[in-house]
A and B are shown apart, each in its own frame.
Chain A
Amino acid sequence: MELFANQVLAGIATGAIYACMALAVVMIYQAIDHLNFAQGEMAMFSTFISWQLMQWGVPYWGSFVLTVGFSFVAGIAIERLLFKPLAKAPILTNVAGFIALYAIINSVAGLIWDFTIKQYPTPFGSSPFLGSQLISTHQAGMIGVTILLLILLFIFFRFTRMGLAMRAAASLPESARLVGINTSWMIALGWGMAAAIGSIAGMLIAPVVFLEPNMMLGVLIYGFAAAVLGGLTSPLGAVVGGFLVGVFENLVGTYIPGVGNELKLPIALALIVTVLVVKPAGLFGRPIVKRV
């Protein structure tokens, strides 16, 4: 029982990483109805920016705020330059765009900062949290930030007019234009917000996985798994999905013989496929009721 509880706790700690990434994934999915494969690389690039700022002597929180701001603007710029022209193109064209973006950002980061692993600081410290060896103060801080982000997003989408307009633009663009919403800018704003959330995820993940251009590869797949499990339309689902994936991964690794570290990633992929087959809307995704 002790082992079980410990594994669950450790799972929640890693789950926070996935939850954070899944939030960014859901954010972009809400805005453009696609999964952005370059999401992880965008987050990685942002994290490098913050690292660079710290190298230049900017304090942690200062570089944190600057990086989030930079990522927001960069997200909008990427949409305006790359994906606005593709807005009416078929899905596959967009997918090709995402993959191109993935490769470009990855290579550019490697070119500027090279591929050696770098240490990345944490603002929360890394001592045991409340005396537990399984969860550090950093991981606890990460869980806290993820939940705070979730609450802020919930308030934004549920109670502000801008949030309402963004939801409308995402669900029915033509009707949204007919009530006067500039849907094209709503999409750009969605990109900006997703990039900003992604940058926060990146900066929180970097102390755990270390900073290097390929740091987000596995994380993004877990993030996708979490988002799909929780439901791609639900930020709450993404976060819960993230924690569940973390716990699930740990328990399977502990209790099913033969599943070591090598087989953990396929578990995430198997989970994606299973959820899509059994419950396509995910745990929290709202299946759309239609009556004609």
Chain B
Amino acid sequence: MTPMLNVKDLRAYYGQVQALHGLSFSLNEGSLTTLLGANGAGKTTTLRAICNMVRSTGSIEFEGKPLGNRTTENVVRLGIAHVPQGRGTFTNMTVEENLQLGAITRGDKKNIVTDIERMYDHFPVLKQRYTQQAGTLSGGEQQMLAVARALMLRPRLMLLDEPSFGLAPLVVRDLFRIFSKINREDKVTILVVEQNAQLALELADHAYVIETGRIVMSGNAKDVANNEDVRKSYLGY
């Protein structure tokens, strides 16, 4: 089976500073993969490079199509939803408008209404607040809104950048359960970047570990979780 996303020899730069040094990895369709690493390892940069939000070289192919020359919005239009760090919520718009925006590129207007209802099923708290300005939601609620907004694209691949950041452990658990459900039921391939390695490894089926812009380990999530170096560095036991 050819992988859904194939990244080869990815190098990314912020001005003169090189952040990724020849990174290669791939995602299979339907998988839930996690990308682990310490602060500054290049996790966020990797996601940003996929969506062409940072200058990079190397090859990125999604379903056989090279992404290199596409603008961010054209990458998204292929069905890649990116939930950025800090959530990217349109804080001065209502919850419902945020969801509408997630589906802004879709032509099937009729299904958008039913999809919004589906999001309210996934995240009931959003339904209670649908006329509220999104900036007034709590951190956890905003993260749910960000995920729901991304799902409104009906993506084939979802990139999640540290969804657990700043959230209470219980909220994080809920959120990850939903990711797992979306992955299984909606057949959305997921790549999640995380510092909360324990939870990420529990749910993912595949894991990559990244250090200073290079992949240093990859494999089945369970094997990676049992690796002694990973345990010491990221799980802390």
Most chain A CB within a 10 A radius of its CB, from B71, B72, B139, B153: B72
Complex Cα distance, B84 from A176, in Å, reads 12
**Closest partner residue, chain B, to A182 (CB atom):** B73
Binds A, one of B61-69, B99-107, B188-196, B218-226: B99-107
Most chain A CB within a 10 A radius of its CB, from B92, B97, B102: B92
Complex Cα distance, B93 from A179, in Å, reads 15
Contact between B89 and A179, CB atoms less than 8 A apart = no
**Closest partner residue, chain A, to B100 (CB atom):** A164
User: A183 to chain B: closest CB distance in Å?
Assistant: 7
Q: Is A132 an interface residue (CB 8 A)?
A: no
User: A175 to chain B: closest CB distance in Å?
Assistant: 4
Once A289-B135, A291-B136 are accepted as A-B contacts, the answer to whether A178 and B89 lie under 8 Å apart by CB is: no
Contact between B136 and A289, CB atoms less than 8 A apart = yes
Residues of B within 8 A of A264 (CB): none
Contact between B92 and A171, CB atoms less than 8 A apart = yes
**Closest partner residue, chain A, to B135 (CB atom):** A289
Residues of B within 8 A of A279 (CB): none
Q: Name B88's contact: one of A164, A178, A180, A183 (CB within 8 Å).
A: A178
Contact between A174 and B149, CB atoms less than 8 A apart = no
User: B120 to chain A: closest CB distance in Å?
Assistant: 19
Residues of B within 8 A of A167 (CB): 93
Q: Is B24 an interface residue (CB 8 A)?
A: no
| Contact flags A149-192 to B (C-beta < 8 A → 1, else 0) | 00000000000010011011001101111111111000000000
Residues of B within 8 A of A183 (CB): 73
Q: Is A130 an interface residue (CB 8 A)?
A: no
Contact between A172 and B90, CB atoms less than 8 A apart = yes
| Contact flags A117-160 to B (C-beta < 8 A → 1, else 0) | 00000000000000000000000000000000000000000000
Q: Name B76's contact: one of A164, A171, A180, A289 (CB within 8 Å).
A: A180
Q: Is A292 an interface residue (CB 8 A)?
A: yes
Residues of A within 8 A of B102 (CB): 179
Counting contact residues on chain A (CB < 8 A from B), the size range is 20 to 34
Contact between A175 and B76, CB atoms less than 8 A apart = no
Complex Cα distance, B93 from A286, in Å, reads 11
Contact between B76 and A177, CB atoms less than 8 A apart = yes
Contact between A288 and B135, CB atoms less than 8 A apart = yes
**Closest partner residue, chain A, to B105 (CB atom):** A180
Q: Is A290 an interface residue (CB 8 A)?
A: yes
Contact between A290 and B135, CB atoms less than 8 A apart = yes
User: B157 to chain A: closest CB distance in Å?
Assistant: 13
Q: Is B231 an interface residue (CB 8 A)?
A: no
Contact between A179 and B136, CB atoms less than 8 A apart = no
**Closest partner residue, chain A, to B79 (CB atom):** A180
Residues of A within 8 A of B91 (CB): 288-290
Once A164-B100, A165-B101, A172-B90 are accepted as A-B contacts, the answer to whether A177 and B136 lie under 8 Å apart by CB is: no
Residues of A within 8 A of B133 (CB): 289
Q: Is B114 an interface residue (CB 8 A)?
A: no
Complex Cα distance, B153 from A161, in Å, reads 14
Contact between B93 and A178, CB atoms less than 8 A apart = no
Closest 9 CB pairs of A and B: A180-B105, A175-B88, A180-B76, A177-B72, A289-B135, A177-B73, A288-B92, A180-B77, A180-B73
Given contacts A171-B93, A178-B76, 4 further A-B contacts (CB under 8 A): A164-B100, A180-B76, A180-B104, A291-B137
A-B contact pairs, 22 of them (CB 8 A): A161-B100, A161-B104, A164-B101, A168-B90, A174-B84, A175-B90, A176-B101, A177-B53, A177-B72, A177-B73, A179-B104, A179-B149, A180-B77, A181-B104, A182-B73, A286-B92, A288-B91, A289-B136, A291-B137, A291-B138, A291-B139, A292-B139
Q: Which residues of A contact B (CB under 8 A)?
A: 161, 164-165, 167-168, 171-172, 174-183, 286, 288-292
